[in-house]
A = this chain, B = another copy of it.
Amino acid sequence: MPNDIPDEEVDRLYTELDAEAEAGGYHLNPDREFTRGLVCGLLVNRDRYGYIACPCRLATGRREDDLDIICPCDYRDPDLAEYGACYCALYVSADVKTGKREAEPVPERRPPRPERKKMREERESTSAAPSTLAYPVWRCRVCGYLCARNAPPEICPICRVPRERFERFM
């Protein structure tokens, strides 16, 4: 991919993303050259659109339409839980990072455009609380951290215990 992104800028964002990932219990793909390519793609998108849209998906350039695919995308965490990697394989699970497991091919879980539009309109049409919980709530049995996701996180971002220490709370 020919582009004008200086190497130092790629390295700077790489280092930043890596530090943030590790602090939050996430991991960049350990294949450094592959990952640098994706980080470079993020910077190309930042120049083009003004935000770091996913380098593996086609952005519209309208921020409000691309919000769910600004990296990290809304789909990263369910993909990490199910396949060991996000759609781009920029982020991988601990097992994949340490070579205990191979990442699987990740099918696109982003809903098609009309469905996304409908979901967004529903969200925006009301500032009131939804009448039912949109996601299960998980509780870390060690520190009590709560989060609402389809599956618990790989590690607790507060006390670092693994997924198996979470229980369904609501």
Residues of chain A at the chain B interface (Cβ within 8 Å): 20, 23-24, 26, 67-68, 70, 72-74, 76-77, 123, 126-130, 133-139, 141-149, 153, 157-161, 164-165, 167-170
Contact = CB atoms under 8 A, between A and B. Distances in A.
Contacts of A73: 142
Contacts of A136: 129
Please state the number of chain copies in the assembly: 3
Nearest to A25: B158
A21 to B, nearest CB: 9
**A-B CB proximity, top 9 nearest:** A144-B149, A144-B147, A157-B158, A144-B148, A74-B141, A129-B170, A139-B148, A24-B159, A24-B158
Given A142-B76, A142-B77, A168 B135 contact: no
A87 to B, nearest CB: 13
29 contacts: A24-B143, A24-B158, A24-B159, A68-B141, A70-B161, A72-B142, A72-B159, A72-B161, A74-B142, A74-B165, A76-B142, A77-B142, A77-B143, A77-B144, A123-B168, A126-B168, A129-B170, A130-B168, A130-B169, A130-B170, A134-B169, A137-B146, A138-B144, A145-B147, A145-B157, A146-B147, A146-B148, A148-B169, A157-B158
